[in-house]
Chains A and B, each alone.
Chain A
Amino acid sequence: MNLILIGLNHRTAPVDVRERYALSEDRAFTLNEKLVLHASLVEGVVISTCNRTEIIAVADGAEKGEEALFQTFDALVPGNRAAREHFYVHRNRAAVEHLFRVAASLDSMVLGETQILGQVKRAYALAAQAGSCGAILNRLFHRAFRAAKRVRAETGLGATSISLARVGVQLAAEIFETLADKRLALVGAGEIAEASLHAFHESGLRSIVVLNRTPEAAARLAAPYDAQAASLSRLDSELAAADIVVSSVTVDRPVISTGQIQRTIAQRHQRSLLIIDLGLPRNVDPACKQIDDAYLYDVDDLEEVAQRGRDRRREAMVPAEAILALELEQFERWQAGLRAVPTIRNLVARTREIARREAQRTLVRMPDTSDETRDALERMADAIVAKLLHRPLDQLRNEAADQGPAYYAEAIREIFGLEEDEE
């Protein structure tokens, strides 16, 4: 079995390429389902965030698996072969390492940001729902979550954590003297919108309106912050009233056009308007950057601002890398231990079969035995087998995890006559 990870992120592809591969949850779910229908792919998880689209899969063969994944990406955006230079491919150890780094936010645009772990968890949950996640990826993702939590708890990354939303607040401080008298229009009511709302509310901004296609979702998000909620149909009037616009909806084409922003700026008497586009595909027409007094930042632009906090957080990278290395080693030991699984499975089956057979033989000689006694006898036979095999099975697992010669496994196969079974 081979682990293969193929994808593109903010380092390898500009936002206009990334947005073509960005997937909504529905599309990611469908893609997860399709992945395992491919002959060479056994398991697969699709991860799509505002900064990356990646697929990690377990494949029968490395080359076949890689080709299958590229075909999957090709199908997402017809004619994407020209964009292949933006993709990276990681196999086995490198793939595991990459996933650990992503989950722990060491590969994020904003080092130490808090949202990525939630996004990876969501990607895993979708794959589990779609049935594309098997034993290996289950174990791998749980290891990745554990590693990420340790990194946050045990290194300085947790203490200095920021998110793209907080970078947005920093940007607002470059434009506005105070946020207390400003108005924020949030377009979207998802996780990113919630993080933005929280960050701006924490910085003292109180006049907030949440706009969403479904006003109920907007109202749910707005309520705890005492903010207003409205339908997206009120976008024009809310734009004119807002000083800061944060947009994070999943759309195929921009929801905010150049014309809308030009009209808004004129109505505002050229007062500055900050627009933060956290959506992928982008929610705001990039041409708005050319409009005087409108300051538009998309996810790529935020990197410059994020850079300020990066040096401080970089100090926390060394212990974080050490934690990831440790977790990586443990996952590899577990993965190597899978070599012993057929032997263990056969040994357990064989010994249990013998024990039950002997129990049945005894019970034949005791015809008046009650059902409870029969069950108790069978359970006892199983318990004896489990106790007896406990140490040998541990030895088998450790031997496999150490990746050395399989002396114990060979000996056990020979002693218990398991060779034929395995074949």
Chain B
Amino acid sequence: MKILVCISHVPDTTSKINFSEGDTKFDTNGVQFVINPNDEFGLTRAMWFKEKQGAHVTVVNVGGPETEPTLRKALAIGADAAIRVNTAASDGFSVAKQLANVVKDGAYDLVIAGRESIDYNGGMVPGMIAGLTNANFVNNCIGLEVDGTSAKAVREIDGGKETVSTALPLVIGGQKGLVEESDLRIPNMRGIMMARQKPLTVVDPIDASAETTSVKFEKPAPKGAVKLVSADHLDELVNLLHNEAKVI
């Protein structure tokens, strides 16, 4: 089985979010970048398929050379090969077109991408890859087994979950639950050394126009101070929620 894991290069959760150039660009100054958490759950599940079922795992990212350390980290965790599509990731649709092209070229059986990235939160890349490659698609995937060309997946739905059967080729929009947080791997020294020897192929982008453009960013208005209510006067809290906040 050939697996492609899509890796988004995102600012760490604790990063300060600031914008530059008149609030039109994300300010990467002093920002630590990591593998998108939803992608990392998928990558770790892919490692399970590699170790238990002999799958070959390639990781891919659309971005400039500055994203290579993130791909190297994925190789250090255990992926076999990496591909970087050499163009700036401008919008979800154009990224999906680039990735769909990689999927077709490499004839991957299973594509795992996070349900959304924690920066732009578009939540569209996995579904669009499936649409563009005519593959089956399971979003919000919290469990995945593959046997030959058939697959069983668990999808989180509003208020519960559903179990589905499907077939390869398959695209997954993954999240926590594919593996648990405690299963995530920190690259060890051996992994980091081996990652240097593994192939990281840079490919040219295809011509794919951006269907949406980020024009401006703004930050939420600073929050007013919390209104504290004494634990002995909870009537006051009920009163505030009813008369001031009007939420009950």
Instruction: Note whether A and B form a binding pair.
Output: no
- Please give the residue numbers on chain B whose beta carbons come within 8 Å of chain A beta carbons, in ascending order: none
- Please give the residue numbers on chain A whose beta carbons come within 8 Å of chain B beta carbons, in ascending order: none
